[in-house]
Chains A and B, each alone.
Chain A
């Protein structure tokens, strides 16, 4: 899939998220905001009740979020492959073995871990923004 603009990417990610069967079944209390820091691209994802409320590409310095997941663009590219290579296949794997960092209020991350994992794996369908 070729994603031409970041707006296309946001729309596609939201569409996939909001129609996902797992998230529809289990996302009633899935509400949080987090930053995906991909080195050259930053994405602020806000979710409420399992649905994407807002996606902000390259947010400003005072835009708030609860936790951040940071890694190099190379790591995110591999994480987002349909079948990611070993050690890039999850946020714990990449944090233990590669350059991914989990920062901020990790309690919120843990509270939402099940649905967050499903949501992040949507990157394997939509890819990362061009």
Chain B
């Protein structure tokens, strides 16, 4: 077929345990070089990183790896547990242990971790608790504390949860972001209602680093925070406030972008990401 084109992005599964639980985790990857491990946002999946995964300027120098957190996309809930008999509530403890176990399973050396929203928050947790495992972290749309989004509306039985989740995050995106990319992000969010609320337990309840940021060893694990100007949950002032309390951290505000930068507008996001990567290597050089 004349127009067929096979992408250089590949998808694989990796099986490993997190404490007593067995997981089979799906991830997409492309590129060679220092691992750049990417976490999607709450209630979503790794396709949010579709632009980055095929961004040749990045993949020339980085091995971009975007996984699906268990219960998202193609990563199932724990295989050896009757998970349906419990209410799903993600915790900082599990989230960080899972990410470290994933990096260990792939034998990643000196990775940079980047996550958005609850992924941005967990990047801060990784910097605090695992400074020896990561070269640097890039919290995107993260903050020390982000209350207010652990809501029953995401799973209300009298409303269409798929649409409530998808349209409930619509104005987390900037109106300037291309319609095509915003609607793709909306579409992903229509698929994740069941995990969204449990993810937000971590995002808005269990994640609270107020008073602990000064413990992050920013000279060991570089922290570069990126926040979009249209993010109403973790607005630029929240990112700035957080970065200002972390040793050696940097904060970059992204103009005209919202809470899902890599998914709603990769072309704008990549400019800031390149700045963040330069800041990381500038310090390390």
Chain A residues engaging chain B, CB cutoff 8 angstroms? 83-84, 86-87, 89-93, 96-97, 106-107, 110-111, 113-114, 117
Instruction: State whether A84 and B175 are in contact (beta carbons under 8 Å apart), knowing that A89-B230, A111-B158 are contacts in the complex.
Output: yes
B120 to chain A: which residues have CB within 8 Å? none
Task: Please tell me if the beta carbons of B171 and A83 are within 8 angstroms of each other in the complex.
Answer: no
Q: Which of B6-14, B99-107, B162-170 contacts A (4 or more CB under 8 A)?
A: B162-170
Task: Please tell me if the beta carbons of B174 and A89 are within 8 angstroms of each other in the complex.
Answer: yes
B:129-180 near A, CB below 8 Å:
148, 153, 156, 158-160, 163-164, 166-168, 170-172, 174-176
Task: Please tell me if the beta carbons of B158 and A92 are within 8 angstroms of each other in the complex.
Answer: no
How large, as a class, is the contact surface on chain B?
Answer: 20 to 34
Can you name 23 A-B residue pairings with CB atoms under 8 Å? Answer: A84-B175, A86-B230, A87-B230, A87-B235, A89-B174, A89-B230, A91-B171, A92-B172, A93-B230, A93-B232, A96-B148, A96-B233, A97-B232, A97-B235, A106-B153, A107-B158, A107-B159, A110-B153, A110-B164, A113-B159, A113-B164, A113-B167, A117-B167
Q: Does B229 contact A (CB under 8 A)?
A: yes
Task: Tell which of B166, B171, B176 touches A93, judged by Cβ atoms closer than 8 Å.
Answer: B171
Instruction: State whether A92 and B171 are in contact (beta carbons under 8 Å apart), knowing that A97-B235, A107-B158 are contacts in the complex.
Output: yes
Task: Please tell me if the beta carbons of B159 and A110 are within 8 angstroms of each other in the complex.
Answer: yes
Q: Which of B156, B159, B176 has the most CB of A within 10 A?
A: B159
A98 to chain B: closest residue by CB: B232
A87 to chain B: which residues have CB within 8 Å? 230, 232, 235
B158 to chain A: which residues have CB within 8 Å? 107, 111
Instruction: State whether A107 and B164 are in contact (beta carbons under 8 Å apart), knowing that A89-B171, A93-B232 are contacts in the complex.
Output: no
Task: Tell which of A83, A91, A107, A114 touches B175, judged by Cβ atoms closer than 8 Å.
Answer: A83
5 closest A-B pairs by CB: A90-B171, A93-B232, A113-B167, A110-B159, A114-B167
In the bound assembly, the distance between CA atoms of A113 and B168 in angstroms comes to 7
A89 to chain B: which residues have CB within 8 Å? 171, 174-175, 230
B:208-233 near A, CB below 8 Å:
229-230, 232-233
In the bound assembly, the distance between CA atoms of A93 and B176 in angstroms comes to 15
B229 to chain A: which residues have CB within 8 Å? 86
B230 to chain A: which residues have CB within 8 Å? 86-87, 89, 93
In the bound assembly, the distance between CA atoms of A92 and B148 in angstroms comes to 11
B175 to chain A: which residues have CB within 8 Å? 83-84, 89
B168 to chain A: which residues have CB within 8 Å? 92, 110, 113
Q: Which of B164, B171, B174, B176 has the most CB of A within 10 A?
A: B171
In the bound assembly, the distance between CA atoms of A121 and B153 in angstroms comes to 22
B174 to chain A: which residues have CB within 8 Å? 86, 89
A92 to chain B: which residues have CB within 8 Å? 168, 171-172, 232
* Further contacts, 14 of them, CB under 8 A, given A93-B232, A110-B159, A117-B170: A86-B174, A86-B229, A87-B232, A89-B171, A90-B171, A90-B232, A91-B171, A92-B172, A96-B232, A97-B235, A107-B156, A107-B159, A111-B160, A117-B167
In the bound assembly, the distance between CA atoms of A92 and B171 in angstroms comes to 7
In the bound assembly, the distance between CA atoms of A83 and B170 in angstroms comes to 15
Q: Which of A90, A96, A111 has the most CB of B within 10 A?
A: A90
In the bound assembly, the distance between CA atoms of A117 and B158 in angstroms comes to 19
The smallest beta-carbon distance between B259 and chain A, in angstroms, is 10
B:166-212 near A, CB below 8 Å:
166-168, 170-172, 174-176
B159 to chain A: which residues have CB within 8 Å? 107, 110-111, 113
The smallest beta-carbon distance between B238 and chain A, in angstroms, is 11
Task: Tell which of B156, B170, B176 touches A90, judged by Cβ atoms closer than 8 Å.
Answer: B170
A106 to chain B: closest residue by CB: B153
Task: Please tell me if the beta carbons of B232 and A114 are within 8 angstroms of each other in the complex.
Answer: no
In the bound assembly, the distance between CA atoms of A117 and B163 in angstroms comes to 11
